[in-house]
Amino acid sequence: MTNMKTLIVMMCMTGLSPLAFAQSATPPRIAASEAKKHAGETVTVCGKVVDTKIPKYGLAGRGKPITFDLDQPEPKPVFFFVAFGSHEGGPKEAVAAYQGKRVCVTGKIETTAEPAVPFIMAADRSQIKPQAEGK
pLDDT for residue 10: 56
Q: What does the pLDDT look like over 53-101, one tens digit per residue? A: 988 876 766 678 999 999 999 889 999 999 987 666 678 888 998 999 9
* Domains defined for the chain, CATH in brackets: 26-130 (2.40.50.140)
Average pLDDT estimate for 109-131: 91
Higher pLDDT, 85 or 127: 127
Instruction: Check whether 133 has a pLDDT greater than 80.
Output: no
Stated as kind and residue range, the H or E segment containing 119 is strand 118-121
Q: What is the pLDDT of residues 8-57, one digit of tens each?
A: 655 555 555 455 555 558 999 999 999 999 999 999 999 999 999 988 87
Residue pair 46/131 in contact by the 8 Å Cβ criterion: yes
Element (H, E) at 95: helix 90-98
Distance CA(102)–CA(6), nearest Å, equals: 51
